[in-house]
Amino acid sequence: MKQFLIVRTCYLFFCGFTLISCSQKQKIDLLICNAKIYIVDEQFSTATAIAINKGRIVATGDTKSLQAKYTAANELNAKGQFIYPGFIDAHTHFYRYGLGLQTADLAGTNSWEEILQKSKSFASENKDGWLIGRGWDQNDWAIKEFPAKEKLDLLFPDRPVLLTRIDGHAAIANQTALNIAGLKPGYMLTGGLVETKNGMLTGMLLDNAVSIVGSKVPEPSSAQKKEALLDAQQNCFAVGLTTVDDCGLNYEEVLFIDSLQKAGQLKMRIYAMLSDATENYNFLFKRGKIKTDRLDVRSFKVYADGALGSRGAALLQPYTDKPAWSGFLLRTQAHYDSVASLISQHDFQMCTHAIGDSGNRTVLKIYGKYLKAKNDKRWRIEHAQVISQNDFKLFGKYNIVPSVQPAHATSDMYWAAARLGPDRVKGAYAYKQLLDQNEWMPLGTDFPVEDISPFKTFYAAVFRIDAKAYPDGGFQVENALTRREALKGMTLWAARSNFEENEKGSLEKGKMADFIIVNKDLLVVSANEILNTTVVATYIGGEKVWGK
């Protein structure tokens, strides 16, 4: 009897022990071990393991303790590689970039002749309809002047051609395209320019004039639209992007994106800003903010002015390299004021493109009128590129969010001082000075104006040099960001600019499991190694969406 009791006690003890260890080992979907993980929380802490279940982060910690705590359906040894939150690009034209992949790529061309050649070979492979090209930049040519259309007319006498400059704010069209759009010498419009020389059209179009011709280009088919979005997504996953802010879509485009996301085909998370158009305001004010797992629509994208490269940016004083020309606002002050009033009444977010110091001052003042004081509305100025020294403080005073693209600094530095002169250029691309205003700031690329790679953003923000390591010591390096600031700008702060900091932007417990595995430690490696960083895998909601 006594012996039996001992056996029974042992048996009970054994069962109890098993029960405890079973209940301690929690079943999860994915456990990644032996990594260096940058959580990008307030303390900027690191970990070596991350546990993921049902698309969310369950825990981060050291490998041994997480292995003891969890049994994973899938356990991955990261072998010392580096994990960051998935990159969020706070300013892109994702959909337009995708469509652009279907047109002639003129980026990096060095002369007008080269553009004509590329257009010709693209046309021989794509024989029907409009010939569309994108990405040229006269600042890269030996003669840095806008082209004229004569040779384009000779090459394409019957087919309409529209070739857009890298920033999208200028384009050259041939005569056939101009005829279709009904543009004649001396055509006048607000917020744009149809260039005329000696009483003849040159084919050059600025800002709203580009839209007049662009509106005549037939809409892409549903199949082309879908292909555009999926191609864009694929390229973006390969460089570690898990969320993109698409700055300026029509509501129909947003509904199309939503349908692809809901069908499980488009996995990219998108923060969509609707364009400044009556039908978009009517749609969203009636429908209310849209929020799904992958789509967030609560803001409007407005354009104050054009770009500095095409001298369409509105400056307070004339351009240093074009006396008596100060650029222009794209709409009247009254328009911006009425839009701000409407957006403010409905409690949505306003995001306005402003490049020149006059464009920025106009927006800062109108924002100030409706924001009144410190607030958490997160109204953004996209680019905030040239700021008068007197105006920086307005960002802090009204908590206006500067949404900046560091690669613009190192792309434009070759000619920015020529446009602005030595004093004004000091208030241009002044990212550190802007960051100091609110102590947080989202970063982006503005692709396809710049390359899609977030690593190039990080590199430009921190080192203020281009891929050729020019200039020595960096361009206006007093406005460089630290590595931590740059990383936060591409993750947590970008999420915050989208009101999504509680679900994204860091690898804290409970957040969406959007992260990337890369081969370099961005917080440590040298400048040129940053550009050689490769993404090993990209995860969205714990699902591997891209990997080598």
Q: What are the residues binding Zn ion (CB under 5 A)?
A: 446
- DSSP string of 211-277? HHHHTTSPPPPHHHHHHHHHHHHHHHHHTTEEEEEEEEE-HHHHHHHHHHHHTTS--SEEEEEEES-
Q: Which amino acid belongs to residue 485?
A: E
Beta strand residue intervals within 123-169, DSSP E: 131-136, 161-165
Residue 498 tokens, joined: 């989208």
Beta strand residue intervals within 174-294, DSSP E: 192-197, 200-207, 241-249, 269-275, 290-291
Rounded to 10 degrees, the C-alpha dihedral 98/103/107/108 comes to: 130
Angle formed at CA 518 by CA 515 and CA 520, multiple of 5 degrees = 135
Kindly state the DSSP code that residue 191 receives in the 8-state scheme: T
Measured over the CA atoms of residue 303, residue 94, residue 454 and residue 470, the dihedral's sign is negative
Residue 135 tokens, joined: 């990405």
The nearest distance, CB 136 to Zn ion, in angstroms, is 17
Instruction: Tell me the sheet residues that pair with 192.
Output: 207
Determine which helix (DSSP H) or strand (DSSP E) holds 87, and give its type and residue range: strand 87-92
Contact between 146 and 111 under an 8 Å Cβ cutoff? The reply is no
- Give the closest residue to 75 by CA, choosing from 87, 65, 67, 64: 67
Q: Which is nearer to Zn ion, 446 or 514 (CB)?
A: 446
Measured between alpha carbons, how far is 86 from 515 in angstroms, rounded to an integer?
A: 4
Kindly state the DSSP code that residue 425 receives in the 8-state scheme: G
Alpha carbon distance, N-terminus to C-terminus of the chain: 65
Contact between 441 and 434 under an 8 Å Cβ cutoff? The reply is yes
Instruction: Tell me the sheet residues that pair with 271.
Output: 245, 296
Contact between 407 and 466 under an 8 Å Cβ cutoff? The reply is no
Sole residue written with tokens 């059209």: 201
Measured between alpha carbons, how far is 531 from 81 in angstroms, rounded to an integer?
A: 17
Kindly state the DSSP code that residue 466 receives in the 8-state scheme: -
The nearest distance, CB 405 to Zn ion, in angstroms, is 8
Q: Which is nearer to Zn ion, 169 or 464 (CB)?
A: 169
Phi, psi (5° rounding) for residue 205? -130, 140
| Residue 323, CA atoms < 13 Å, CB-side half-sphere | 0
Q: How many residues does the chain have?
A: 548
